[in-house]
Amino acid sequence: MKLHEYQSKELLSRYGAPVPRGEVTSDPEEARSIAQNLGGRVVVKAQVLMGGRGKAGGVKLFEDADSASEFVRDLIGKRLVSVQNPSGMVVERVLVAETVDIAEEYYLSVLLDRDAQKHVVMLSAKGGMDIEEVAATDPDAIARAHIDPAWGIWDYQLRALVASANIPVPARRGVAQLIRTVVKAYHESDAEMIEINPVAFTADGKVVAADAKVSIEDNALYRHPEYLSTADDSAEDPIEAEAARRGIAYVRLGGNIGIIGNGAGLVMCSMDEVKAAGGNPANFLDVGGGAQAERVASCVELVLTDPNVEGLFINIFGGITRCDQVAMGILSAFESLSVDLPVVARIEGTAAEEGIRILQGSSIVPAETMQEAASKIVSLVASK
């Protein structure tokens, strides 16, 4: 779950990280009042879950409250488009914050290094809006240190990081303290990522988290109910968001052959077989164990909401899942949705004979093996 900037800063502030004062609003007059309380000179930031807000015109500095208010009036309801998000996102709220007199900008993030299967801290003296370009053209400018979640980050790692990243000596103590704070927040909040860009080194020698992004691990949200009530799925794929609401394990992949199975391993094998047969999986969907007809129907309906789906491969191995229940769910979904695309089903296991009997007379093409089913659905879709 991605947090907005204002939520990310609130989280970091609770751990003692220095962040600029500010308030979130969607009302231009309230924005004026907030700006006045902050001294008039403020920065207004669109609160949308996308990168490149600054270049898209969603972040601006103002010298007085009236100008800030007018900008908010124009910005609310506007769609921001960036390189990272070409389809754009509509601005529903803004953060009005005090300005920071920035002398230098650094970059800091803590996240999971999946290749190394470890948590990693990344630090660079070249922070700011062009950090993606820095990562692509000058990767050595980003220092890295793997950390153990049981111990956090050691002092020697902090010293090595700030030195390797070429952080100026006057800023090193403050940056090191910020790293320690962010690492603690990262572990205790079950974050997948915390990114601060920029880390501002101010003219008066302070280190401030001028911007922040935090993403919380979805499977740990039960430990952080305070975020569930403010969840913003506007940046999520709408079908994936609906699947999450239904409690269905679904990932959209962009192909044209929908896949439904029971058990993550079986679904992934089904995807591999479709790919091997020359097709492109449209999704991953695991109906789960013991699924009843209603849940199966809901899964079929979900997959078919993807307009790219041109065929459906259903692969069920019945253990605690009864194949007759699966068959009834498939037919129920097809009757309610008036499905007009090729469907191949491979059903084995508990009550498989009854499940196959239920599907007889329908347009569903049976298959005995996974390979046969994958080959059939790819051929049927190609011949449409």
- In angstroms, the CA 20 to CA 16 distance is 12
Sign of CA dihedral 73, 79, 83, 85: positive
User: How is residue 33 written in tokens?
Assistant: 């009042």
- In angstroms, the CA 260 to CA 265 distance is 12
Concerning whether 226 is annotated as a catalytic residue, the answer is no
CA 27 to chain centre: 28
Is 73 among the annotated ligand-binding positions? no
Which of 195, 273, 301, 310 is the catalytic position?
195
Is 128 among the annotated ligand-binding positions? no
Is 247 among the annotated ligand-binding positions? no
User: How is residue 362 written in tokens?
Assistant: 């329908």
Is 37 among the annotated ligand-binding positions? no
Is 118 among the annotated ligand-binding positions? no
Is 207 among the annotated ligand-binding positions? no
∠ CA 158-164-166, nearest 5°, is 105
Is 45 among the annotated ligand-binding positions? yes
State the pairing for strand pair 365-366/343-349. Answer: parallel
Radius of gyration over alpha carbons of the chain, in Å?
26
- In angstroms, the CA 267 to CA 316 distance is 9
Is 152 among the annotated ligand-binding positions? no
Reference 199, options 170, 169, 161, 167; nearest CA is: 167
Alpha carbons within 13 angstroms on the beta-carbon side of residue 362 total: 25
Is 202 among the annotated ligand-binding positions? no
Which of 5, 6, 104, 107 is the catalytic position?
107
Concerning whether 335 is annotated as a catalytic residue, the answer is no
User: How is residue 162 written in tokens?
Assistant: 């700030």
Reference 315, options 341, 338, 284, 294; nearest CA is: 284
- DSSP state letters, 249-272: EEEE-S-SEEEEESSHHHHHHHHH
Is 230 among the annotated ligand-binding positions? no
Binding residues for substrate: 262, 319-321
Residues serving a catalytic function are 107, 195
Binding residues for ATP: 45, 52-54, 100, 105
Binding residues: 45, 52-54, 100, 105, 197, 211, 262, 319-321
